[in-house]
Amino acid sequence: MLQEFRDFIARGNVMDMAVGIIIGAAFTAIVKSMVGDLINPIVGLFLGGVDFTNLYFVLSGAVPTGASLEAAREAGAAVFAYGAFVMAVINFLIIAFVVFMLVRYVNKVKEMAMKQEEPAPEPEAPKAPSELEVLLEIRDALRK
């Protein structure tokens, strides 16, 4: 069983997947920063200074008016945090778009590499005359 596990781990696609997961985790931090620090303030500016991350409804419990989502949660209130959900959707859309662009680029690179690897078509060999053409030539040469 240990040998099978070693063989499984040593396969190339498992290692590629592990690298992808690690890069994905690092990429998630970049996207969170981009959304939280760049996109969220711009969207909030267009919506009159609204910060999506603090949009919520209090379902039960006492929360002071204007309290942040974190303060409402610390107060023990049950909150419906739709702003956090909106931010999660924006994060997903950005990640999906970037992954789409990455896959598109990789496919173009693969396509270019395949075109370079294709051997150039060989020039066609000159067509040999048919038997009839040879006989006609001989006949014409004998007439002269």
| pLDDT (tens digit per residue) in 82-136 | 888 887 887 788 778 877 888 899 889 888 888 777 676 777 777 888 888 888 8
Mean pLDDT (the chain, rounded):
81
Range with the lowest mean pLDDT among 21-25, 58-62, 74-78, 91-95?
91-95
pLDDT at 108: 92
pLDDT band per the 50, 70, 90 thresholds, residue 12: low
AA identity, residue 130: S
SS (H, E, C) 29-59: HHHHHHHHHHHHHHHHHHCCCCCHHHCCEEE
Q: Give CA–CA dist 144/132, Å, rounded.
A: 19
**CA–CA distances in Å: residue 51 to residues 10, 19, 34, 45:** 47, 35, 15, 9
Tokens 């919506």 identify what position? 47
Tokens 């959707």 belong to residue: 89
pTM score: 0.53
Q: Using 50, 70 and 90 to split pLDDT, how confident is the model at 50?
A: low
Given CA atoms 93, 98, 101, 104 in this order, what sign does their dihedral have?
A: negative
* Alpha carbon of residue 82 to chain centroid: 27
